[in-house]
Amino acid sequence: MNEKMKPRQYEILKFLATSSIPLDIAFFQNEFEKSERTIRYDINELKRICAEKEVQIRYRTRWGFYIPAEQKAKCPEILIAGRPGKTAGFLMNRSEQRIIELFFYFFVNKKDVLAEQIAGEFYISRSTLMRIIPRFNEYFGGRIHLLSHKTGGYELQGDELIIRHIVMEHLAQLFKGSYMPEDWYLLLPDTLKKYMNLQRLITISNEIKKVNAKYNVWISNTAFLNLLSYCIAGDIRNQFYSPADFTDEAQGYAQTLLKRLDKKVNSTELNYLEEVLIENEIVVNIHETDERKVNSSLKKIIEYLKKEEKKLNYEFDMTGLYEDLYGHLKNLLFLFLISKDKIEENYIVIQEVKENYYDFYRMAAECSRILEQDYEIDFTDTEICYIAVYLYKNCKGRVNKRKNVLLVCATGKGLSHLLAIRLENVFPMLKVAGQVSPYQLSNMNFGKTVDFIISTIPLNITGIPVLKISRILSMEDIKRIQEFLDYGKLVDEIPLQERDKASFSSKADPFEIAKTIKQEAASNNLSYAAGVISKLILTLLEYTSKFPEEYRMSQDVLLGMIIHMSMAVPRWFQGTSQDTLEEMEEEYIKIEENHRVIFEVMEKFFALVENSLQVSITIEEKIAFFLYIIKEEKEDESTYY
């Protein structure tokens, strides 16, 4: 039997199927703004529907409702079969979201609409609508309001530019952090999608970029999203009406953009757009820049980069780089002149550049220091990243190939295999040529096949550089290797300007556990299970390497943690309905207070595992991991006293 669920029941089941932790009644009350009695009724109905597919909705005291991890695979089938016949309307929206959704509804309805029609559109009662409308007028602070007509209908009233401006504000906030038209279209409210298709959105985006190029205008990502959002609002609004006072004024940025968007230029639309341009400091660059000063600064930058070419074996197209930096610098200086406010930081760009193009970021930072001295301005991290992009664009490549490194450990087996994988993951420029024991090393003739040796034990050999590290590739080891690559010599202690320099290559999910889980494979498949376990082990090693230097873990302790986790994974999938003992909760809090750094690192690891595997790791399980680390740390302390 494929029984259709009510929209609210459908959404509750989606929450339970995707949550890695139990959800209590208060959570659902808050989400749906319904009474406890109503939520309990819906959950009881869901229990009955799910039971037919052998899926249980269980309850854990003081935690809430959950579906066992091993049964979640059946939930998509239930959701597809039980999908309600009509959309949820206002179901998933809280008070503020309801008001915004209602605003978009009236934005695309020029004529007044009867209250009964509005209530029907959003699947709510007329009385509920009557409670929302007063809050609507309050929410927008008098800028706009819903006017009630004697006929019983409502109409959106307010200045046209203000109405478009409100749309712009909300769309720009939705688009923030996205860079592709396809992403913007997905984020577009459903109400507006009826009047704006993907192709039209792509056209608007491209035309803005073309006009920017024509007038040599450089704008920030925030300003671009604001302008894009305003153009979308204007494009939709003009499908209902368009002012008739056309003008043949001289060409300019605003006039050109309007014409390229297939609009006849009229004074009203022109005034609207020009006001938006001024608000976002989008001004055509007519300022005369001091050419000699710009050329002088670029000459210093080129001289610095030529030195870096020899040092790091990079090769740049200096002509192309000069042209790119010249145009970028002129626009950047102009923006600084018209506004003393710093450009808003773009943390997505910053993270991407620092993680994957750190050498270019470091060089760009030095270039920015040259410019800061010449122009007495402060560069943000985002602006440094933009310069790094130009450096990367004009880099012909790195002259040298990957360095071959030989890995030496006590036996050449065991953890050396995991260490080899981690080395190549953290340092893409290294290639592990082999893993050998000291005995095997004594019988080897290196020739030119190995650039240097990384060893977990002391070696007394000459003729080839040797880098001594621990058996788990700790953060201290990563720094030492990075220093060796930078300076070409073995230095035990060199102060780093960037403490976490090498960790830029390390991401939250470096071995893509989540991606592995999403593959279509049966959970009882041996190769699939082995793949999950191996990636969990590698990820655990990655996270433990981030511990501070005072937390030194031996090979025995690390193996103990790996064995413990391998045995714990089945328990995570089985779940538990037992309550956490009070003394365990106290111990957990004590660990957080006394060992905050490792607590935060491991909590990130636990969160990654829970979200990827769709399981819930108990406090007892977490404490077991912490005890390995804390015990080792205490033992190390005892050897010093």
H/E stretch holding 583: helix 582-594
Q: Residue 155 in 3-state DSSP?
A: strand
pLDDT score of 505: 40
Angle made by CA atoms 54, 57, 59, in degrees to the nearest 5:
145
Supply the pLDDT for residue 246: 52
Give CA–CA dist 55/16, Å, rounded.
Answer: 12
Per-residue DSSP letters for 443-502? T---TTS-SEEEESS-----SS-EEE--TT--HHHHHHHHHHHHHSS--S----SSTTGG
Q: CA-to-CA distance for 109 and 194, rounded, in angstroms?
A: 12
| Cβ-proximal residues to 53 (8 Å cutoff; 6+ apart), any chain | 74, 77, 78
CATH topology of domain 7-81: Arc Repressor Mutant, subunit A (1.10.10)
CATH fold label, 95-158:
Arc Repressor Mutant, subunit A (1.10.10)
8 Å CB contact between 595 and 626: yes
pLDDT at 92: 44
Contact 387, 368 (CB under 8 A): yes
In Å, what is the CA distance from 565 to each residue of 203, 538, 612, 614?
Answer: 52, 12, 15, 16
pLDDT at residue 171, as a whole number: 92
What integer pLDDT is reported at residue 245 of this predicted model?
52
- Find out whether 578 and 59 touch, Cβ atoms under 8 Å: no
CA distances from 283 to 216, 217, 252, 286 (A): 10, 7, 11, 9
As assigned by CATH, the class of the 403-505 domain is: alpha beta
The rounded distance, in Å, linking the Cα atoms of 279 and 13 is 45
**CB distance 473 to 423 below 8 Å:** yes
Per-residue burial over 392-420, b if 16 or more Cβ lie within 10 Å, else e, is: bebbeeeeeeeebbbbbbeebeebbebbb
19 three-state secondary structure: coil
- Find the DSSP H helices in 108-156: 115-121, 126-139
CATH topology of domain 291-398: PTS-regulatory domain, PRD (1.10.1790)
DSSP 149: P
Q: Are 172 and 229 in contact (CB under 8 A)?
A: yes
Quick one: pLDDT at residue 340? 54
Instruction: For the chain of 641 residues, list the mean pLDDT of each consecutive stretch of 10.
Output: 75 82 86 84 91 89 84 81 60 65 86 81 76 83 83 85 92 82 83 88 90 76 89 88 54 80 76 83 57 83 84 79 80 61 66 74 89 82 85 70 78 66 76 80 71 81 78 71 62 33 48 59 60 79 72 70 81 67 80 84 85 81 83 44 30
- pLDDT at position 436 is 82
In this structure, which long-range contacts are made by residues 488-494, counting pairs with CB atoms below 8 Å and at least 24 apart in sequence?
Answer: 489/465, 490/465, 490/466
Let me know: does 364 contact 384? Beta carbons within 8 Å.
yes
